[in-house]
Amino acid sequence: MDRVMVFMDGGNFFNGIQEMKIYFYNVAIDEIVKTVVDGRKLIRTYYYTVRPTDKTSKMYSTQMSFLDQLERSNYMKVRYGRLVGIPPNFKEKGTDVFLAIDMLNLAYKNSYDTAILISGDGDFVEVIECIQNMGKQIENWAFKGRKSDNLLKVCDSFSYIDDQMIKQCCK
């Protein structure tokens, strides 16, 4: 049976959900994973994000609760980058590097047969080609407005995350 790992770019996913005008914290990440894995053997999901920093924000407790829930999910590993800059102009740093390193390292260790990348970020093209050269398959899921044509061309398969899929995965 095909062993699958899911690598989810949390920032990219969050922005895609916001563009759909769906309240992000209503989306069940485990249901998204179940949908993209489609009955194959899930080894683990890696979710890449940053921790919120503004403890006075109305959303702080909701965001922390969401992250706490993710950390307690079965077969889930949350990896944190950092925020840099001066409020409100923060930039997310480190998450894409962690994702690329984990995909590559786990492919090298033969931990999976297929990697599912949930992101529309074209910066992953070179690492995907490297992993494919190890005999691994890479599937890509992305929002229509956030897809990279370069990812679409290099990945073994490409699928859209659409309104219907997201609505089916809401709590």
Tokens coding 48: 């890449």
Domain total in the chain: 1
pLDDT for 147 equals 85
Structural domain that includes position 114: 3-168
pTM, full prediction: 0.93
- pLDDT one-digit tens code per residue, 101-139: 999 999 999 999 999 999 999 999 999 999 999 999 999
User: pLDDT-based confidence at 23, cuts 50/70/90?
Assistant: low
Q: What percent of the chain has pLDDT over 90?
A: 57
Max mean pLDDT among 5-9, 11-15, 55-59, 150-154 falls in 5-9
Mention every residue, 6+ apart, whose C-beta is less than 8 A from residue 114.
2, 3, 4, 5, 40, 136, 137, 138, 139
Q: For residue 128, what are the CA distances in angstroms to 8, 40, 82, 102, 150?
A: 14, 21, 24, 12, 11
Q: How far apart are alpha carbons 51 and 56 in whole angstroms?
A: 14
DSSP 8-state code for residue 145: G
Q: In CATH, what number is assigned to the domain containing residue 149?
A: 3.40.50.1010
